[in-house]
Amino acid sequence: MAIRARSTFANRDAFLGVTFALLAAVGFSAKAILVKLAYHDSVDAITLLALRMVFAVPFFVGVAIWARRHHAEPLDTHDRLLVLGLGVVGYYLSSYLDFLGLQYISAGLERLILFLYPTMTVIISALLYKRAIGRMVIAAMALSYAGIALVFLHDVGAKEGSIVLGASLVFASTLSYSIYLVGAGHAIARIGTMRFTAYASLVASAACVLQFLAMRPLAALELPVRVYGLSIAMALFSTVLPVFLLSFAIRRIGSGSASLIGSIGPVSTIYMAYAILGERISWLQIAGSALVLAGVLVISVNSRRGGGQSGSERQLAQGDPARVDQQHDADASEERSQRVL
């Protein structure tokens, strides 16, 4: 009886974990859809990003207060400067470039380019640590970028705006975030993931608001109610809720399984873009998306096997640098979920 009860409990936990991971992936992926919908009302990237961050600030403040109570040791000057620099580079800059890029390319292409960040962390880590990249990983990266090329050709055929400019901006956004991941690994392990994430997010929020105040008049806030509704939806459904859902999923099924389930993100973006935005789906796009997903999954699986790397270096290669031990596993995945910024 006891064994059956434990089995039932485990099955329920697994079901809830998978459900939460799926909902988190869809929530993160919906960000591009909400941004594109807001752009229909002629709002610019600077204003929209500032609104989104303003509505997300209460959440970040709450997490910062909670984290401070659980970490009695104050930050030293070096830690403060690190949080400030990485918050600007990893969160503010990557978010700004991403929002700019979405003005020119389809939501599907944007999500696939963002999904390339593990390939970039592999390259950056290899350069920093002077470590050779295995043939399988190189082949997987080639597969991923070949897939991006196919989706790029799809967008060119669909005449989706200034494709080269938009793709370049989103690629730069992904590179910025990858640099942040590599640079933040040891800091996150020392400071604590939730505290580091909350503080860096508040830095990014301040940067977005200051940018708006410096570059736009307050009259720019005279927008349709629909834009404010979409901004709140971005903060709630593509930031706050997915973070908690992913955290709950990790506790039930582990970060590895949650990460693999998260691979549905680009697929869900493409479907939502088709259903909501009216973006075309072609066999070229489907084939390209499959190549990107396959390549990134191969890199992730290969990184988990280790390949002779230390634990922290393996996580850097995965774009999940804070998982230097089992205790940091769930926290680091929560940090990675903040990519929605």
Query: Can you read off the two tokens belonging to residue 228?
Result: 């404010």
Query: Can you read off the two tokens belonging to residue 220?
Result: 């720019």
Range of the structural domain that residue 64 is part of: 2-340
Domain count, the chain: 1
Q: Is residue 255 within 8 Å of residue 330, measured between CB atoms?
A: yes
Give me the residue label for tokens 């970060």.
255
Q: Where are the alpha helices (DSSP H) in the chain?
A: 2-39, 45-70, 77-86, 94-101, 107-114, 117-129, 135-158, 163-191, 193-215, 225-235, 241-253, 255-261, 265-272, 283-305, 311-318, 328-337
Rounded to whole angstroms, the Cα distance separating 178 from 185 reads 11
Q: Is residue 32 within 8 Å of residue 110, measured between CB atoms?
A: yes
Rounded to whole angstroms, the Cα distance separating 317 from 83 reads 21
Tell me what pLDDT residue 72 has. Answer: 59
Q: Is residue 112 within 8 Å of residue 266, measured between CB atoms?
A: yes
Give me the residue label for tokens 């799926």.
22
Angle, CA of 118, 152 and 114, to the nearest 5°: 25
DSSP states of 65-93 as a string?
A: HHHHHH--SPP-HHHHHHHHHHIIIIIII
Tell me what pLDDT residue 32 has. Answer: 94
Rounded to whole angstroms, the Cα distance separating 135 from 241 reads 39
> What string of pLDDT tens digits covers the 341 residues of the chain?
555 555 665 677 788 888 888 898 899 889 999 999 999 998 999 999 999 999 999 988 988 888 777 765 777 888 888 889 888 987 899 999 999 999 999 898 899 898 888 888 888 888 888 888 888 888 888 888 888 888 888 777 666 558 889 999 999 999 998 888 777 766 777 777 778 878 888 999 999 999 999 999 999 999 999 999 999 999 999 887 887 787 778 777 776 677 777 778 888 898 899 899 988 888 888 888 888 888 888 877 776 665 434 343 333 333 333 332 333 333 344 344 444 44
Phi/psi-derived region of residue 279, left when phi > 0, alpha when psi is between -120 and 50, beta in every other case: beta
Angle, CA of 228, 230 and 236, to the nearest 5°: 105
Please provide the size of the chain in residues: 341
Q: What is the DSSP letter of 324?
A: S
Q: Give the SS3 label for residue 302.
A: helix
| Rg of the chain (C-alpha set) | 20
Angle, CA of 147, 175 and 91, to the nearest 5°: 125
Rounded to whole angstroms, the Cα distance separating 321 from 304 reads 12
